[in-house]
Structure 1
Amino acid sequence: MTHTYQLTGMTCSSCEEKVKNALELVDSINHVSVSKENNTATITMSKHIALHNLQNALDSKYQISVIAHNESIEQTTSWFETYKPIVLIFFYISLVTVLIQLTNHHFNFMQAMQHFMAGFFLVFSFFKMLNLKGFAESYMMYDVVARKIPAWGYVYAFIELGLGISYLLNFSPVFTNAVTFIVMSISIIGVLQSVLNKKKIQCACLGAVFNLPMSTVTIIEDGLMILMSLIMLISLS
């Protein structure tokens, strides 16, 4: 995305160069063009950058402000563009789950969770399988087990596939949900550590196909599977 900002305080060509160099050091900024005559800075960025972050990168004599774009709208749009693959996947899995329940005489909450989890694990394992090596390498960057045992990344993808098939076939529900609860609980540890430490690394939830940043979205994914498996285990006991 490219935006043009109003930039005041520049008095010479050296100011232009100083501002340009300062802004180019900000993460996710790909290109900067500065004009002293027009008092503008045109910035190309790979993801949304808040205005205050741009201001903090500059000397106090320079003031940057928006011209014709809404920060809050852009931030929402940028979030959706970043996580569009996950949003669409959850939408389609939820849609299929609801449509299946419409064929029943009444809504079966437990069966709906079972079908949702089947779709979740099958779809997510599919994207991991597209580039298994790439997934394993990305997963090793933050998972507590994969960091010590690199082969775990490869095994994990097949565990997800197995869980997806098990939920689809309703195979040994207690065993399937117990494995899900244990595996996802271990997985979320590395995710929480990365998010809390604000590490800027790629989330491997969809393998190496999409460049998704590690964030609270990843916590919600894992947390949802943990919660669902726990509810089903309690209902089966």
Structure 2
Amino acid sequence: MKTITVETSMKCQSCLSKVEPVLESDTSIHDWTADLADPRKPITLTVADDVDAEHVVRLVNSVGIDATPASTTADAVAQTSEDRKPSSEEDSFRLSNYRPLLLVVAYVVGGTVFAESLLPGWNWSRAMTWFMGFFFVAFAFFKLLDISKFADAFSTYDIVAKRSRVYGLSYPWIELSLGIVFLSQHLLLIAAIVTLIVMAVGLVGVISAVRRKQQIQCACLGTVFNLPMSAVTIVENSVMIIMSAVMIWTALVG
């Protein structure tokens, strides 16, 4: 195995979604990452020893994206890596990157507390339905602001959306429908089952992207905010899975 880097003309997640299928389908490519934050929009690949940069360039060119080999010498590659190495501050988790997400979650929590306070007594099971309802409605809103761009970004990591654009375009409407059902306090068992399935499937793609350290955008708030894909996204999906599982257990057991 060896590492190859090519520089590309990619501009956005839509471009990356075009490149991903051809790289994923090539059996000589073991692993790859793309960095859209870098002005050179490089793709770094771990490939078989008999694969050269020109092979990768041809693959990228085949989908209408320009590509050129980066440095071909080991010293140049090492120097490039050193030049691109982020500072300790940049490499660390930066809470400011997730400010929009935290703000939306704060509104969701506030709405949950307000809705539950209007009813006599505090019921945690009911509070979860408020939370999930407000969560889905809020997150669907941002996705629907530009549903086409959301579908492009979503397809870069979701295992279903990358195979079906229809699913990517439908996803915000699925979230909105689930949100309305949870807020209506009806058909909660069905909504919880659908949520568990949708979130579990989504979690597979998120974990894969995080493990591969792909520098891609998390589409949980659509493309309005440039949220990086990270463990935070795993936590977000996991919380919804746990809540829906608790609701199902409560409904079936008692």
- TM-score of the pair, normalised by structure 2: 0.64
Per-residue CA distance 1:19-50 (angstroms, 9 max, x = gap): xxxxxxx99578xxxxxxxxxxxxxxxxxxxx
In structure 2, the CA distance between the partners of 1:182 and 1:28, relative to structure 1 (3 Å rule), is: closer
Q: Does 1:57 align with 2:72?
A: no
Report the counterpart of residue 238 of structure 2 in structure 1: 223
Deviation at 1:229, TM superposition (A): 0.4
Report the counterpart of residue 139 of structure 1 in structure 2: 154
- Percent identical pairs in the alignment equals 38
Structure 1 gap ranges (5+): 1-25, 31-55, 59-65
Q: Secondary structure at the match of 1:207?
A: strand
Q: Secondary structure at the match of 1:142?
A: coil
Deviation at 1:183, TM superposition (A): 0.7
Deviation at 1:57, TM superposition (A): 2.0
CA distance in 1, matches of 2:194, 2:164: 19
CA distance in 2, matches of 1:28, 1:233: 41
CA distance in 2, matches of 1:211, 1:224: 22
CA distance in 2, matches of 1:119, 1:105: 20
**What amino acid is the match of 1:219?**
I
Report the counterpart of residue 164 of structure 1 in structure 2: 179
Deviation at 1:106, TM superposition (A): 2.1
CA distance in 1, matches of 2:91, 2:185: 41
Q: Could you tell me which of 117, 131, 135 is aligned with 1:102?
A: 117
- TM-score of the pair, normalised by structure 1: 0.68
Q: Could you tell me which of 128, 145, 157 is aligned with 1:113?
A: 128
CA distance in 2, matches of 1:150, 1:203: 17
Structure 2 gap ranges (5+): 1-34, 40-80
Deviation at 1:222, TM superposition (A): 0.8
Q: Could you tell me which of 171, 195, 201 is aligned with 2:210?
A: 195
Deviation at 1:75, TM superposition (A): 7.8
The runs of 4+ residues in structure 1 deviating greater than 3 Å are: 26-30
Q: Could you tell me which of 142, 156, 174 is aligned with 1:127?
A: 142
Report the counterpart of residue 62 of structure 1 in structure 2: none
Aligned pair count reads 175
